[in-house]
Amino acid sequence: MKNFDDDKKKFLKANELFLNNNFNEAESIYINLIKQYPDKDSLYYNLGVIYLKINNFNKGIEIILKYISLTKNPDNKFFYLISLLYEKNNNILPAIRYIKKLVKNDAEKNNFKIAKLYKKIDCINLSNKYLDRCYNLSKNNFYKIYKLFNFPIIYDDKKYYEKKKQNLIDDLKYLNKENFSISKNLLIDNPTFIHTYNGNINKDFYSSIRDFFIKKYDFLKNNSHAKNKIGKKIKLGIISEFLSFHTIGKIFHEMISRLNTNIYEVVIFNSINTIDSEIKSNLDKKYKSITLPIDQDEKIKIITNENLNILFYPDIGMSTDLFYLSYLRLADKQVVSWGHPDTTGNQNIDYFLSSKLFEENKDFSKKNYSEKLILFNNLPSYFNYPNSIKNTRNFINNVYSCPQSIYKFHPDFDDVLIKILKKDKKSKIILVKDRFSIYKKLKKRIALKDPINSTRIFFLNRGDKNFFISLCSISSVLLDPLYFGSGTTFFESMVAGTPTVTLPKKLLRSRMVKGAYDQMQVDTSLTVAKDIDDYVDKSVFLASNKKINLELRENLRKKAKKNLFENENVIDEFNNFFKKII
């Protein structure tokens, strides 16, 4: 076997290419060197990191497994790397298996990692078991608090959720009296996110969470803000982890990209977790763009130094990395919108950007927002009509689809699905799988309620936009979940014109489909229900009457193209709003 020193220059060249993000050339050199030096650990490790960087997780797993199989005692860094590759590839159980090999080396850190991985796949009892181990090792109250916020996505019934929520409220009151602080390096993941998916008014609940965190995190204390002068242009910051190929990017990127640069100087703040995409690239080219670092104090310093007049959060509650910044006053005026459609309960967020079409009753809505409610005349979103996607399939009678996120399946919605199955004996209901197979818990929950009829519920693998449009095309009707309904998926479904049956309640998050129908200016007598029974009746009627369904589809397609997509009026409203609040 050759001596590795003979090819050290090639190795150093590959390392240089790697450090300069020239991954393809570096990969080629590492692969050739491995053929000559199959026992050289650094070659395998660097190649594994390259595959992690370029999102080729299967190849990364393959190369690291190969090295582990060849070596009696691999360095711990290989276990960390393969665990991360499995996690990124959504294979959580193997990721856990390799982290468990490292528990003896750094018990607290690795037990916490295991707890978070079990949380990802909704194994909350196992997650809590490892959180208890972390607390026993460290006596750090953070792990107690994390456990309090550890809510499952799929739970058996409302009583379970309400009891756990009340325990959280009570325990936070008790812990608030204790004298301790939490490190800025230990953040509770998305502490309010899951609670938006219930039909509750959350203003006071979220306010109590905010008060707790401000008291316990030092980086949130003593926040003072001096008003910034307005120069020739209004300095407008826009902050989100998801201004990319994501629901948030789809909703807001067109409005943001068409801000009037004669009026606004725009700065985009991305998270270190923001994924590269065409949407991100377009915004980065047009405006000053800053990727914020991991450290919370550094984030605050960077944003503060921009001397912003306005800071706009398209969403609050979905990003752990950026969530806690919203508790601070980092600009003269701070605004949130319906990217995550719930109030923040946060006195430092001044305005909530909604629409007259989203809110049932202005006076009711005002009471349930901690922010000042701003009601656009139009839906606060701009969607280009997707001409590249064609509707090529005809629908099939008695097929009901709900291609929504697993978070939206409240236990009450199970009962709606079962009622449809009972009323329409020919019915088939199509749902979509999630990436972590949590759908199996949902499937089991529904089966326990009705083991016979639930056999006509089918879960399909989630696909791309063309898959979604094809599914809409063959479906007789789309079912809008209770409490947190369809958003961007409704816009996309209008390419096929498939009718969505919806049951709007009082809160915005259940009224998005109703708002879209109203902007389209269509008759909703066949699609907007008054109660559960009416929802079932309307769904079954549309799924069983092909002639009426086809006529409705054609009308929905036409009205959507005319009134829903490419609405120039909202661009003007968006531009004028920020100017008015200064």
* CA nearest to 327, candidates 169, 218, 200: 218
pLDDT tens column, 526-575: 999 999 999 999 999 999 999 999 999 999 999 999 999 999 999 999 99
Structure tokens at 382: 């701009």
For 510-520, how does the pLDDT look when each residue is reduced to its tens digit (9 = 90+)?
999 999 999 99
Q: What is the C-alpha to C-alpha distance for residues 314 and 380, in angstroms, rounded to an integer? A: 10
Rounded to an integer, the average pLDDT of 200-211 is 97
pLDDT digits (tens, 9 = 90+) for 95-120: 999 999 999 889 999 999 999 999 99
pLDDT tens per residue, range 245-280: 999 999 999 999 999 999 999 999 999 999 999 999
Q: Which of 481, 457, 436 is nearest to 197 (CA)?
A: 481
Distant-in-sequence, close-in-space partners of 17: CB < 8 Å, separation ≥ 6: 23, 25, 26, 29
Nearest alpha-carbon partner for 237 in 266, 274, 257, 262: 266
User: How far is 27 from 41, CA to CA, in rounded Å?
Assistant: 15
Query: Looking at residue 314, what is its pLDDT?
Result: 98
Asked if residues 380 and 516 have their Cβ atoms less than 8 Å apart, the reply is: no
286 pLDDT above the threshold of 80: yes
- In 337-464, which ranges are continuous DSSP H helix? 362-367, 411-423, 439-449
| Banded pLDDT at 209 (limits 50, 70, 90) | very high
Closest CA to 479 of 403, 581, 428, 421: 403
| Dihedral (Cα; 404, 410, 416, 420), 10-degree rounding | 40
Q: Is the pLDDT of residue 391 over 70?
A: no
Torsion of CA 124, 130, 132, 134, to 10 degrees: -140
- For residue 262, the cross-strand partners are none
pLDDT classification of 443: cutoffs 50, 70, 90:
very high
pTM of the full structure: 0.94
- Distance in angstroms (rounded) separating the CA atoms of residues 306 and 100: 44
* Range 422-431 average pLDDT: 98
DSSP H or E segment with residue 374: strand 372-376
Question: Nearest CA to 161 among 132, 124, 127, 136?
Answer: 124
- How many residues in the chain? 582
Q: Is the pLDDT of residue 6 over 70?
A: no
d(CA 84, CA 375): 44
The per-residue pLDDT for 3 is: 65
Residue 390 has pLDDT above 80, yes or no: no
d(CA 421, CA 267): 51
Task: Find all residues with CB under 8 Å of 478, minimum gap 6, and list them.
Answer: 400, 401, 402, 403, 472, 486, 493, 498, 499, 500, 501
Q: For the stretch 495-506, what's the b/e string if a residue is b when 16 or more beta carbons lie within 10 angstroms of its beta carbon? A: bbbbbbbbbbee
- The rounded distance, in Å, linking the Cα atoms of 100 and 79 is 9
pLDDT in tens, 8-54: 888 899 989 989 989 999 999 999 999 998 989 999 999 999 999 99
